[in-house]
Structure 1
Amino acid sequence: MLLNAALEFVTNLLARVLGSSLVRRHFHLLLSALVLFGPVLSFWVSKYSIFANSNHYLYRKFLRSTWGWTCIFTGSFIALLSLSARHPFSLCLRHLSRVGLAGLFWWGCRRLLTLLEDAAGTCYEPMNPAQDAQSSASPVQPLLLLHEDQNKASCLKAHMLWRGYEVSQDILILCFCCLLLVEEMSVFGSHLEQEKPLQRSPGTPLRVIFLLCVVLLLVWMFLLLCLLAYFPKFPSQQLGGALGYLWWKGLYQGLYRLRSRWGCPGLPAEGLFYHGQWPKERDELINGQERERQSI
């Protein structure tokens, strides 16, 4: 009982915070400020910190599968929310298609960025000073041997030097996942308000998955801050953050606002809540309560 009460209190509080107009309208500004000014923290962080190690457990287990974790938790939350609101399964699939469409965009974005990086960059092999005939005569920097047949992946795998255009895909996906989580979780407060007149409370699984989504959001923001502070790369990280914002803007402020008859999955709250017209079960519940009062 105590754990359930604590879970209900925490999730209700988080739902009010994430559903507030202040968070929904200005969270992207907070994220933008973090991406722009986060590298300034590199002057104060310790290079001997455990987070300065790129092979840290947090980076290996979460950063390399950012979209996978986001897809699992967000999809579970959307499915449980639709079932808790007692809507048809077709509406649940429609809202889940938002995650699938975002994943399709992420796959295409990765392919496009990889092609651009391969086209705009060049692979070089640093020559061994022992192989350079003039290295003993003049202390110049080692020469670089050009490899035009190498792409970025094969070049780095061969421990050679890659120079060229680059966009931080880690910052891109972290920014987008943070914006997506806030957008999807912001409707939980409206769901709680709708369930109050029906004297129903969201089940424990829905509250738990909502809390896990909030924890995941905090993890992504912490990873974003760590990358900016311990591994600053200007301007590739800022370009990645800008593309992540534009990706979210194009989907949630553009494509998802189109009408559903055009095959659009719609916004997170579309079709889940009643505005002006209430479900039949609520009318029956209110009428039953009125009859009980009159009989008393």
Structure 2
Amino acid sequence: MESVDRCAHCLLPYLVNRAVRRLMPWSLFALMLGGSFVKELAPLPESYMSNKRNILNVYFVKFAWAWTLFLLLPFIGITHYLVTRNPIVVAQRLSSLLAGTAIWYACTGVFLHIEDLTGSCYRSSDLDHLLKEHPSKQQCQQAHGFWHGFDISGHCFLLSYCILMITEEITVMHSVKTSQDPRLQRIVSILFLALSCLLLIWVWMFFTTAVYFHDISQKVFGTLVGLLAWCGTYRFWYLKPFSPGLPPRRTSLSGHKSNRSL
């Protein structure tokens, strides 16, 4: 198990630093635009990743928020307790996951509503015959029709938000002191490595979404919503009192007040 600690130590300077947090939003937007232009101007041949039934899409992206919660919940809980020794601070930081869940639920609901309002029902994906008798997506699908509306990319939204959220939360690793408890150190290292792997999967799937799926406008809107969700929380609300606060960075904390000042 020492190899786990060594791997975590090797990844730490590459994933947990200010430059990554500063550049990641711009990098994601550039990645989305670059992949979108490839799709529009020089489409890549079909591959395993262009099939929506690929294993990463079916077992990971379809449950992206669940995977993110599953790993962030124990990671935030353990690391913040090790840093602050304050259960109240831990509970407040964990409430960021509730805020993220509310954002995910609200945004996906709005996306579906927009698609329903802007769409029409057709007999097939060729859009060859309009079926006016089915005015909603649900009715259209029940009639085995094809609903064509403005389908904002939920993958671009959710993956960009999850990527930025994980990037923010793992910054606590610089402040964690676990040398007195090797068992907790191993647990933290395992969770950090798992989050690092998940981060790489999300970035890769974000890129494949840009290259193979959706129109460019749908991906731009989806990515912008993800970036705005991150900015509204980690760059605005979490800096305010009566919020979940930011993860501690680089220095140990004595209380919740110092958590917000870093």
TM-score (norm 1): 0.76
| Aligned twin of 2:83 | 85
1:123 matched residue in structure 2:
121
Is the counterpart of residue 11 in structure 1 residue 14 in structure 2? no
Kindly tell me the number of residue pairs found equivalent between the two proteins: 249
Q: Secondary structure at the match of 1:248?
A: helix
Distance 1:264 1:86, change over 3 A: closer
Alignment RMSD (CA, Å): 2.5
Q: Could you say which residue in structure 2 is the equivalent of 1:146?
A: 132
Matched, 1:234 2:216: yes
Given the superposition, is the C-alpha separation of residues 181 and 168 from structure 1 closer, same or farther in structure 2, using an over 3 Å criterion? same
Q: Secondary structure at the match of 1:123?
A: strand
SS of 1:267's partner is coil
User: Does the Cα contact within 8 Å between 1:124 and 1:145 map onto a contact in 2?
Assistant: yes
**Corresponding residue number in structure 1 for 2:20:** 23
- The alpha carbon displacement at 1:166 in A equals 2.3
Question: Matches of 2:144 and 2:23 in 1, distance apart?
Answer: 43
How much does 1:232 deviate?
Answer: 4.3
Listed as ranges, the matches of 1:60-79 within 5 Å are 60-79=58-77
AA in 2 matched with 1:27: M
The answer to whether the 8 A contact 1:82-1:91 is kept is yes
Residue in structure 2 matched with residue 267 of structure 1 by the alignment: 246
Residue 98 of structure 1 corresponds to 96
Q: Deviation of residue 142 (structure 1)?
A: 4.9
Partner of 2:149: 164
Residue 115 of structure 1 deviates from its aligned partner by 1.9
Judging changes above 3 Å, is the alpha-carbon distance between structure 1 residues 66 and 256 closer, same or farther for their aligned structure 2 residues?
Answer: same
Letter aligned with residue 255 of structure 1 = W
1:247 matched to which residue of 2?
229
SS in 2 for 1:265: coil
Letter in 1 for 2:130: L
Inter-CA distance 190–88: structure 2 relative to 1 (3 Å threshold): closer
Bigger Cα Rg: 1
Counterpart-to-counterpart distance in 2, 1:158 and 1:258 = 50
Match of 1:211 in 2: 193
Deviations, residues 210-236 of structure 1 (Å, cap 9, x unaligned): 110000000111111112222242210
Distance 1:73 1:142, change over 3 A: closer
In structure 2, C-alpha distance between the alignment counterparts of 1:231 and 1:186, rounded to whole Å: 32
The aligned counterpart of 2:44 is 45
- Contact residue 168 and residue 237 of structure 1 kept, 8 A: yes
Structure 1's unaligned 5+ residue stretches are: 127-140, 276-296
CA distance in 2, matches of 1:158, 1:37: 37
Which position in structure 2 is the counterpart of 1:287? none
Shift of 1:185: 0.6
C-alpha distance in structure 2 between counterparts of 1:121 and 1:80, whole Å = 46
Aligned equivalents of 2:4, 2:11: Cα separation in 1: 11
Partner Cα distance (1:152, 1:172) in 2: 21
* Distance of 2:34 and 2:139 partners within structure 1: 33
Unaligned runs of 5+ in 2: 255-262
Partner of 2:257: none
Relative to structure 1, the CA distance from residue 142 to residue 245 in structure 2 (aligned partners, 3 Å threshold; closer, same or farther) is closer
Q: Match of 1:155? A: 140
Measured at CA, do residues 143 and 105 of structure 1 come closer, stay the same or move farther in structure 2, by a change above 3 Å?
closer
Contact between 2:120 and 2:130, CA under 8 Å: does it hold in 1? no
The amino acid of 1:23's aligned partner reads V
